[in-house]
Structure 1
Amino acid sequence: MSLSKPDQPYTVTPEGLRLAVRLTPRGGRDGIGGVVLDADGRSLLQVRVSAPPVEGAANAALIALLAKALGVPKSALALVSGETARVKILRVSGDGAALAARLDALLSPR
């Protein structure tokens, strides 16, 4: 069973979260920009990293940034698809409801 809000870039799964990300490498500085829609209307978490898209550097920076933001070890994140694409699917292991709440807090307007 999986639960998701239609306007959120994640789905809660029994293992944790399945997270859809649009990554911008060489984005100037590392940061989470919010939620954007792709051409098909799917919600994506917009993330920028300063690392270049060379030899997995941008993917490693993405995992490090999300791990820190969600308060989980880097080993809790795994790239499911999109290794060389801008749109990536990641699996975040842990308590899905708690991870979703942390992500919602990060994305909520301050």
Structure 2
Amino acid sequence: MIRETAECVTLAVRAQPGAKKTALSGIYGEGAAAQLKIAVHAPPVEGRANEALTAFLAELFSIARRDVVLIAGETNRSKVFLLRGVSIEGVRAVLGL
């Protein structure tokens, strides 16, 4: 779910678009294939859900939106985001892991 590279952290996310509000929903899957499940208020149309996820993650981890980059899964519910300016320990602390 969370991986650290030399310059950033990557986070595997499972999006649930069309929810009442954007919020953390738990963990999807188990082990190395686990993903952070996020309910997204925006619909999965014209990249709106991806934009909403980017904004939510930036706010959640207190980093700029430009430091949250979607690197995989643009048209899929399973996505991988690159987070710059935050450590793996910081991500785990925010998520309570």
TM-score of the aligned structures, taking structure 2 as reference length: 0.89
Q: How far apart, in 2, do the equivalents of 1:13 and 1:54 lie?
A: 31
Q: How far apart, in 2, do the equivalents of 1:34 and 1:104 lie?
A: 13
Q: Counterpart of 1:78 in structure 2: which amino acid?
A: V
Radius of gyration: which is bigger?
1
Q: How far apart, in 2, do the equivalents of 1:13 and 1:52 lie?
A: 31
Hey, what does 1:5 align to over in structure 2? none
Moved over 3 A (4+): none
Q: Percent identity?
A: 33
CA RMSD, aligned part only?
1.8
Hey, what does 1:4 align to over in structure 2? none
Q: How far apart, in 2, do the equivalents of 1:69 and 1:90 lie?
A: 13
TM-superposed CA distance for 1:41, in Å, is 5.7
Hey, what does 2:90 align to over in structure 1? 102
Q: Which runs of 5+ in 1 are unaligned?
A: 1-8
Q: How far apart, in 1, do the equivalents of 2:32 and 2:7 lie?
A: 25
Matched position secondary structure for 2:45: coil
Q: How far apart, in 1, do the equivalents of 2:32 and 2:58 lie?
A: 26
Q: Tell me if structure 2 keeps the 8 A contact 1:34–1:107.
A: no
Q: Tell me if structure 2 keeps the 8 A contact 1:63–1:74.
A: yes
Alignment of 1:30-49 (within 5 A): 30-37=22-29, 42-49=33-40
TM-score of the aligned structures, taking structure 1 as reference length: 0.80
Matched position secondary structure for 2:74: coil
Q: Tell me if structure 2 keeps the 8 A contact 1:76–1:94.
A: yes
1:83 and 2:71 equivalent?
A: no
Kindly provide the CA deviation profile for residues 32-80 of structure 1, in whole angstroms up to 9, marking residues without a partner as x.
Answer: 1222216x86110101111000110000000000000000000001111
Matched position secondary structure for 2:42: coil
TM-superposed CA distance for 1:30, in Å, is 0.6
Q: Which stretch of structure 1 is more off in the superposition, 14-23 or 40-49?
A: 40-49
